Amino acid sequence: MTAPIRRLDTRLFRAPLGRPWGPGVDRLAFISVEVEDDAGSVGRGLSWTPTIGAEAVQALLDHDIRAWAIGRPADAGALWHPLWRHLHEAGGGGITTIAMAGLDLALWDLDAGRAGRPMVEHLGRAHQRVRAYGSGINRHYSFDELVAQAERWVDAGFDAVKMKVGLPELADDIRRVAAVREIIGPDRALMIDANQLWSVDDAVRAVNELAVFDLNWVEEPLRADDLAGHIRLREAIDVPIAVGENLHTRYRFGEFLDAGVADVVQPNVVRVGGITPFLQIAALADEHGATVAPHLLTELSAQLALARTADTPVEAPEGASFDELGVIDGMPPVVVEHGWARDTGQAGLGIRLVDAAAPVF
């Protein structure tokens, strides 16, 4: 019988970004979560949010989630859906699932650690390494800064890269995408990300003009929850559509997959609520023949990708790995080298965030 949870503790800190993601986005928030069961086994997880809601996430963990979880079995799969139903009054996704991820990840870490296995082995290793693509949060970069970043991607050995689009003037997007395509050459994959900035009409025009640059996908071309708009867009463009970084439940992913508008699904393992729902979403994508490409959080995403039979590219945002942010205590669980991500064999998730005595604010 699984031992019950006897302790859940959290700690909030912020880590400065060496390369800001835009005006006002110069640091990321982390909520470290530690769970202990009655047998004395400890698991460590985290919640994460770039700018908004970190204190609310921590409060949900410290109050509603802790009060509900104490005394229940330390079993991520058994607890996830009952907890989601319990918290649903506060919202089906967003802060709710981001907070739930902290507990879910800690319980998976506890289980794998108790078995003495790295998470990849615990899930069932399928690969020794997986492809990573260079990712730039670079809409605010000058033209010269963008060019320099593309050159760094080439030098780093990435065979696929992603850049931001959605500038006020389409001509500027065209100039920037053309420059990146020229630098990376014809043999590397190129993806674009509009971050929900276009209307359907704007997206049709922009994607059809940018398609000449041989795009692997267009990411979040429309407001994330606009299913009807995505259906209209799917009928008007040939470039594959990527969605999911701002879909928070398997139900929403299912709706987009059933509608045939999600060629690539991009669950963020924290935003969807942890490993338990991530695995369900990935299975849904596989059933529909969609590609799974997890959003950000390379240290978590790569471990899940390494345990998937299907090819699962992982995102490597420049300057934003946990190691580069200085939030990892010890060896990172994942490293990216020459365009490939591999795990380092750490027990459990292998994510030990910096000690409480030395927080980064």
- For residues 134 and 316, the answer to whether their CB atoms sit within 8 Å is yes
Spatial distance between the Cα atoms of 61 and 47, rounded to a whole number of angstroms: 10
Q: What single string gives the DSSP state of each residue in 42-107?
A: EEEEEEEESSS-HHHHHHHIIIIIHHHHTTSBS-HHHHHHHHHHHHGGG-SSTHHHHHHHHHHHHH
Spatial distance between the Cα atoms of 163 and 277, rounded to a whole number of angstroms: 28
Sign of the alpha-carbon torsion through 102, 108, 110, 113? negative
The total number of residues written for the chain in this structure? 361
Spatial distance between the Cα atoms of 136 and 125, rounded to a whole number of angstroms: 29
- For residues 15 and 30, the answer to whether their CB atoms sit within 8 Å is yes
Residues β-bridged to residue 341: 130, 336
Q: What is the DSSP secondary structure assignment for residue 212, as one 8-state letter?
A: G
Spatial distance between the Cα atoms of 29 and 54, rounded to a whole number of angstroms: 6
Q: 122, 162, 164, 230: which one is catalytic?
A: 164
Active site residue 127: no
Active site residue 164: yes
Spatial distance between the Cα atoms of 109 and 42, rounded to a whole number of angstroms: 8
How far are the Cα atoms of 3, 61, 116, 118 from residue 110, in angstroms, in the given order?
Answer: 11, 17, 10, 11
Sheet with 5-16, side-by-side order of all strands: 5-16, 27-37, 42-49
287-308 burial: b if 16+ Cβ within 10 Å, else e: eeebbbbbbbbbbbbbbbbbbb
CA dihedral 170, 261, 244, 181 (to 10 degrees): -40
How far are the Cα atoms of 60, 106, 201, 333 from residue 207, in angstroms, in the given order?
Answer: 40, 41, 10, 37
> Degrees (nearest 5) of the Cα angle 310, 163, 152?
95
- Please list the active-site residues: 164, 295
